[in-house]
Structure formats: structure tokens, C-alpha cells
């Protein structure tokens, strides 16, 4: 756990007017922290649902459908066989399965505070060294970078495999053409670095420059901006952040 602070730092509203600005983050409850991480302007969730196994169907349509000259029948048989093969590999579910991608602005102070508070609440006895590391991580000045962190989960862990592989093998060189932050006016900025998920609970990290042409790429006049990334042909992340939801203690936090 102590490695997490160094790994993250070396590279380097919905909730806005509520409890978070009135309480010291080290006094937040678990619900307070989770609200920042899951239901705030700094944290967007994209859900992808597979409905191909919502209803049970036999493992084969029989040879008669293949023997006809009807192309639609052949296509239906091929599609069904693909589903059957997937079932054979991982077992049938007979229900819709969702993979949820949580896309958070890690460079925003309230998100870092929420992550650290969640960790501290899980510790029965807070190690002074760990607490010191948490405080340093929260106080870190991200004046040069915008960091987007992505975690994911699924209603069926067997469906997490493709996402896990995609994030693990991705590299900044291959991501650049299909990954960017985009402002409302259409201007984009590509990532400077990418860090695959490690055992720190923060997820994959996309690092973007905070300044372009010596000006903040995102500011109060930027309007909405979005994060887009094509991790693979199947995984395309596309979430939007509203400037008005990113105010924290009177300042724009992202």
C-alpha cells in the first residue's frame, strides 16, 4: 500500500456545495468518500451491457438450418454458434451482463481525498507513515498535469477479462491517436504518459499536459470537456465533464 503514493507521484457540481466543502476530508464517512468517487462531477461511469445471453437458447440449431440456401438462416446459425462457443468457454449466464468503467479526475483534490479516506477507513490502526503518505498525496500540486484514472468492475467477473487485458497491454504510443481530452470548441490534447493498473486501487492512469501554449487547456470558460479513449475495438471510453460541477471550495478542481 505504501508504494501507491510513489508510483502515482513520480510521473509526474453534484457534490460540490455539499458536505465535502464543510468537513475536513479526514473526517469523511465512507458514504461521503464514495459519493465523491461515484456520484460527483469528477467521477463519470460508462456502462457497457451484453444482452446476447438474456434468454436461454439451445446449444445448436441443427443441420437443417445450415443446409438451406437462405443467407439469413446461415447468419443466425453462425451468430448462435458464436454465443454457444462463448458459453462453452465461460459458462452460460442467461442474463444481461454489464461492465462498468469508472472514469475519475485523479488530479482533482477531492478525488484524491476520497481515495485516501477510503483507504484509511479500511485500516484498523492507521500507520503514521501511511497517514503521512496520504497527506502528501492529497497535497500534491498537479499544476503541470491532468490525470484521468479508470477502474472497472462487472456484474460477472468472467466478463472483466477483455478489459483487464486491454488496460494491461496499452501503451502511450499506441493510445495517442485514439485518446485525448477535447474541449467544447473542438481543441484536443493527447496524453503524455499512460500507466497500466497496479495493485493500488486507483486504476489505469492517463496523464495529459495541463497547459498548452503556456495557457491552461481547461479553464472556467472552457465549457464542457470530454475524455475519449479507444483501448481496443471493443472498448471505447467517452465521458463528459461539466465545468460547473468541478468547483470545490471556490476553485476549479480537475
Would you write out the chain's pLDDT as a tens digit for each of its 254 residues?
Answer: 333 333 333 333 334 435 455 678 889 999 999 999 999 999 999 998 866 555 544 544 444 333 444 444 444 444 444 444 444 454 455 567 788 999 999 999 999 999 999 988 887 766 777 777 778 888 888 999 999 999 999 877 777 888 999 999 999 999 988 999 999 999 999 999 999 999 888 999 999 999 999 999 999 988 899 999 999 988 999 999 999 999 998 999 99
Q: Which residue has the cell 472556467?
A: 220
Quick one: pLDDT at residue 169?
A: 95
Q: Which residue has the cell 451484453?
A: 50
Q: Which residues share a beta bridge with 247?
A: 252
Quick one: pLDDT at residue 82?
A: 43
Per-domain residue ranges of the chain: 3-49+96-252
Measured CA to CA in angstroms, residue 187 lies from 180, 181, 213, 250 at distances of 10, 8, 12, 26
Quick one: pLDDT at residue 54?
A: 54
Cell numbers describing residue 1: 500500500
Quick one: pLDDT at residue 53?
A: 56
Q: Which residues share a beta bridge with 248?
A: 251
Interatomic CA distance for residues 87 and 90, integer angstroms:
5
Measured CA to CA in angstroms, residue 208 lies from 146, 147, 187, 216 at distances of 5, 6, 14, 12
Q: Global pTM?
A: 0.75
Pick from 98, 99, 140: nearest CA to 4: 140
Interatomic CA distance for residues 133 and 2, integer angstroms:
7
Amino acid at each position: 500500500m505504501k508504494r501507491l503514493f510513489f508510483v502515482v507521484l513520480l510521473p509526474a457540481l453534484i457534490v460540490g456545495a455539499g458536505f465535502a466543502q464543510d468537513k475536513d476530508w479526514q473526517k469523511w464517512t465512507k458514504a461521503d468518500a464514495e459519493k465523491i468517487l461515484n456520484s460527483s462531477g469528477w467521477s463519470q461511469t460508462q456502462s457497457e451491457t451484453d444482452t446476447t445471453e438474456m434468454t436461454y437458447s439451445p446449444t445448436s440449431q441443427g443441420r437443417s438450418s445450415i443446409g438451406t440456401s437462405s443467407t439469413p438462416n446461415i447468419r443466425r446459425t453462425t451468430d448462435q454458434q458464436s454465443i454457444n462457443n462463448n458459453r462453452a468457454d465461460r459458462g452460460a449466464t442467461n442474463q444481461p451482463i454489464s461492465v462498468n468503467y469508472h472514469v475519475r479526475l485523479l488530479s482533482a483534490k477531492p478525488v484524491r481525498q476520497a481515495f485516501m479516506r477510503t483507504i484509511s477507513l479500511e485500516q484498523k490502526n492507521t500507520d503514521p507513515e501511511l497517514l503521512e503518505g496520504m497527506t502528501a498525496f492529497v497535497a500534491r500540486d498537479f499544476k503541470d498535469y491532468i490525470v484521468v484514472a479508470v477502474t472497472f468492475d462487472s456484474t460477472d467477473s468472467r466478463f472483466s477479462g477483455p478489459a483487464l487485458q486491454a488496460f494491461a497491454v496499452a501503451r502511450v504510443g499506441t493510445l495517442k491517436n485514439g485518446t485525448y481530452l477535447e474541449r467544447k470548441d473542438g481543441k484536443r490534447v493527447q496524453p503524455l504518459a499512460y500507466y497500466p493498473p497496479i495493485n493500488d486501487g486507483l486504476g489505469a492512469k492517463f496523464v495529459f499536459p495541463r497547459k498548452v501554449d503556456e495557457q491552461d487547456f481547461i479553464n472556467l470558460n472552457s465549457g464542457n470537456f470530454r475524455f475519449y479513449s479507444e483501448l481496443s475495438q471493443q472498448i471505447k471510453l467517452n465521458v463528459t465533464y461539466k465545468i460547473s460541477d468541478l468547483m470545490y471550495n471556490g476553485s476549479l478542481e480537475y
